[in-house]
Amino acid sequence: MQTVKVAICFHQDLRSLLSLGMRDHAIIEHTIHRQASIKDIIEALQIPHPEIGALLVQGKPVDFTYKVCDGDRVEVQPLMAPVNLCQPSLLRPEPLPRIRFMTDANVARLGSLLRMAGLDTLCPKGLDDAEIAVQAVRQECILLSRDRGLLKRKIISHGHLVRSEEPKKQLAEVIKLYGLQEQITPFSRCMHCNGLLKPVAKKDIIQSLEPLTRTYYQTFFRCPDCAKIYWSGSHKSGMNRLLSAALSTT
């Protein structure tokens, strides 16, 4: 059986994703006893491939299918903000047509906050990991999760392992990573189904409003997909503060 020894250097915050015993090593000496792709080796060290921005072997760019050789020196670089996944790259030759997210149950609150910020976000419920992965690919989404196993699935090209545990910080993390500061359009999407809201005349929906809402509010929006009605209630100021706090840290 062939023994292959490679030296791997993980750059910047990728080192924080390694096991505690490896994080302090500038170069990791890794030994395998079978032929393996560079993707398999990196993921064996618990770093999902969507986190990788570039791979260099002996200083030359390679893709995920590269089969490592004995004595290889591998450099693993992260995606650098602002990430543009709408442009092709060596690791991701098929770009996304536009920025759209999908969240799993681990970051469900993040999904709601992204919608609140007006960002196209799908939040499927009741699906297992395999189904979520398939839907993310079919819907051409960036998959957001704290589940490394989900993001390591082979069919996933575009994804992000969310670092923060607090939803507000998660929102800031995603906005900064993908450079979305100028794409924020608060309260433009339906929080229920992600549809784009449209203005609606009060007279057209007055029968659907509660008495106090009829009295105190004049401006309304309706989702054309699920017909849910929205207006600027007292909760909006708190939501605006949350968005402002997230944007201030990007």
Spatial strand order in the sheet of 121-122: 121-122, 101-103, 142-145, 159-161
Instruction: Tell me, yes or no, whether 127 and 157 share the same domain.
Output: yes
Domain boundary pick from 183, 207, 235: 183
- Distance (Å, whole) CA 49 – CA 71: 22
The CATH number covering residue 23 comes to: 3.10.20.30
Instruction: Tell me, yes or no, whether 205 and 169 share the same domain.
Output: no
Instruction: Tell me, yes or no, whether 164 and 130 share the same domain.
Output: yes
More confident: 21 or 9: 9
Contact in structure between 143 and 133 (CB atoms under 8 Å): yes
Mean pLDDT in residue range 62-68: 97
Can you give the pTM of this predicted structure?
0.93
Q: What is the pLDDT of residues 35-58, one digit of tens each?
A: 899 999 999 999 999 999 999 999
Q: What is the pLDDT of residues 90-142, one digit of tens each?
A: 999 999 999 999 999 999 999 999 999 999 999 999 999 999 999 999 999 99
* pLDDT of 173 above 60: yes
124 inside domain: yes
Instruction: Tell me, yes or no, whether 37 and 74 share the same domain.
Output: yes
88 inside domain: no
Question: Which runs of consecutive H residues, i.e. helices, occur in the chain?
Answer: 38-44, 108-116, 129-138, 148-151, 167-177, 202-205, 211-216, 235-248
22 inside domain: yes
83 inside domain: no
More confident: 3 or 99: 99
87 inside domain: no
Instruction: Tell me, yes or no, whether 69 and 109 share the same domain.
Output: no
Say how many domains are in the chain: 3
Domain that holds residue 32: 4-78
Instruction: Tell me, yes or no, whether 207 and 179 share the same domain.
Output: no
Strands 101-103 and 121-122: parallel
Contact in structure between 167 and 113 (CB atoms under 8 Å): yes
24 inside domain: yes
* pLDDT of 234 above 70: no
pLDDT at 1: 57
Mean pLDDT in residue range 14-33: 90
91 inside domain: no
69 inside domain: yes
As a whole-number percent, the residues of the chain with pLDDT over 90 amount to: 84
Instruction: Tell me, yes or no, whether 153 and 207 share the same domain.
Output: no
